[in-house]
Amino acid sequence: MSLTSLNFLVFLIVTGICYYILPKRTQPYCLLVASIAFYCMVGEPWTFIYLFVSIVSVYAGTRLMEWIRKNKPQKQKKLCRIVFVTVLLCNLGILAVLKYTNFMIYNLAYLVKLLHLDISVHTVSWAASLGISYYTLQIVSYLTDVYWEVQRPQHNFFRVALFACFFPQMVSGPISRYSELGVQLEQEHRFSLEQVERGACRILWGFFKKLVISEKLAVIVNAIYADPVGYHGLYIWTAMLLFPIQIYTDFSGCMDIVLGAAECFGIFLPENFRTPFFSRTIQEFWQRWHITLGLWLKDYVMYPILKSNHFVAMGDKLKKKYGRKIGKQIPLYIAMLVLWFCNGIWHGNSWKYIIGVGLWYWFAIIMGQIFEPVSKRMINILHIPTESVVWHIFQSVRTYIVYGIGALFFCATDLRNGAFLIKCGFLEFNPQIFTDGSFLQMGLDGYDLVMLGIMIVFAFVISVLGRNGYVRDKIAAKNPLFGGFIWIMLLVIVLVFGSYGNGYNASSFIYAKF
């Protein structure tokens, strides 16, 4: 059951009716039942046991830490640390075993081959929980916040369970904090037609991004990357430049559907995108792209590393020996290296993600920081107006290309194939492909390509207009007839120009597989 399917819309409507007609105190339990049903319909039902173990371990761990602090105040620090580490390893262990076992086996097999050892190495076939990469980070954040005493433990087991598996965000996030989502799930929500309309409008906008733009772009990108020898040269660079738009409209479209669905229940999830393609640097880009993952990695990986005794001591030694600047930069760069390694491996159990989606961006950010003084001097020498629109466009295009190079590895089968794709981009300079109708042989006709271009421009204009607030708020502020006309036209566009494949399921979203 895909988030863009009719089945999901029916499921959402039925859940919404039950949610609002049942007594207000039962609303969380209604959502919990719906979330379990959604899990069983989208994922493998029996894999729910992994999610259940995670919920039980975290619930028991947080309650035990609370009991220790009340009854064992003298030993609370040591005992709470033992409980925290045990539960943390349990949850990360489940994630590691289910998601990364084959990655370790692949590396072991490579090592065996390298050493010419006569050892047979076989991969395993294990089904992971639906959304395991998302709910693990979410529930670990709750566990850590309780351990840090910035969050009080929830005494109701079912509320913790709902926080972990709230169905709109099960497939692709966003990664919420208990202080944001958990509190809302505990509250009673009254039916509001205006609120449901707003949620429905956002769902429709997500459908537009995914079905009208992303699915059409996928036809071209997939065709090129499937045959890089036949489609070489400028074909490769075209696919590299188109894929960021494809993955953005895919992932942000998914988030629009998720946030819109949650809003129908009076629940507001954190935003995951903030016009990333307007970013001037790759660091700013990742502050606007997959925001909840970036914040999670900063708060629960990078900052704890920087604040650890070993890193503080390292910084002090470096400051005494090499100066304050070096003493501050080296620990920061190492902590950022760990963060970006985690970012890469979170995306998938392959070196293509670790290098392409992790370390490449770490390298780009570090180089930008190191050469920032040189860049500023060059700007002053050349008298470049840094606040001009032209300079902003140049920086945004540069950032887009840097991101596109790393994003190429999303489409590669492995790290070697990613390098091969880049190599194929230099085989020939063939600009004639843009005028000889070559792109009409990939599955889209001329009409499709023209309409796709118009829709991309339309989405870009909406992004520009929406930078300082939601476009739907601005539409709502106009005449109701005008607003109704706009949304009806958008619905017609989705129905007429949308791509509806057979066998559609939740994994049709790119980020669902992570």
Cis ω before 276 (30° cut-off from 0): no
pLDDT tens, residue by residue, 441-462:
888 888 889 999 999 998 888 8
Distance CA 460, CA 400 (A): 14
Q: Which domain holds residue 398?
A: 310-411
pLDDT tens, residue by residue, 391-444:
889 999 999 999 999 999 988 988 999 999 999 999 888 888 888 888 888 888
Query: Is there a contact between 170 and 238 (Cβ–Cβ < 8 Å)?
Result: no
Domain boundary among 380, 411, 442: 411
Q: Residue 129: its pLDDT value, please?
A: 84
CA dist 481 to 201, 360, 408, 486, 487, Å? 15, 49, 44, 9, 10
| Straight-line distance from the first to the last Cα atom of the chain, in angstroms, rounded to the nearest whole number | 17
User: 15 and 162 share a domain?
Assistant: yes
Calculate mean pLDDT across residues 41-52. 90
Count of structural domains, the chain: 3
Lowest pLDDT segment from 74-83, 365-374, 380-389: 380-389
301, part of any domain:
no
Calculate mean pLDDT across residues 116-120. 75
Q: Residue 326: its pLDDT value, please?
A: 85
pLDDT tens, residue by residue, 213-258:
999 999 999 999 999 988 999 999 999 999 999 999 999 999 999 9
pLDDT tens, residue by residue, 165-190:
999 999 888 999 999 999 899 888 99
Rounded to the nearest 5°, which phi and psi values hold at 273?
A: -140, 150
359 has a pLDDT exceeding 80: yes
Quickly state the pLDDT bin for 113 (edges 50, 70, 90). Answer: confident
Q: What is the mean pLDDT of the chain?
A: 89
274, part of any domain:
no
Distance CA 217, CA 211 (A): 10
User: 160 and 38 share a domain?
Assistant: yes
User: 125 and 204 share a domain?
Assistant: no
Question: What are residue 273's DSSP bridge partners?
Answer: 289
User: 422 and 403 share a domain?
Assistant: no
* Neighbouring residues of 72: CB distance < 8 A, sequence distance ≥ 6: 79
Q: Residue 125: its pLDDT value, please?
A: 78
**What count of other Cβ atoms lies within 10 Å of the Cβ of residue 455?**
19
Percent of the chain at pLDDT exceeding 90 = 56
User: 118 and 250 share a domain?
Assistant: no
User: 121 and 183 share a domain?
Assistant: yes
Domain boundary among 165, 188, 211: 188
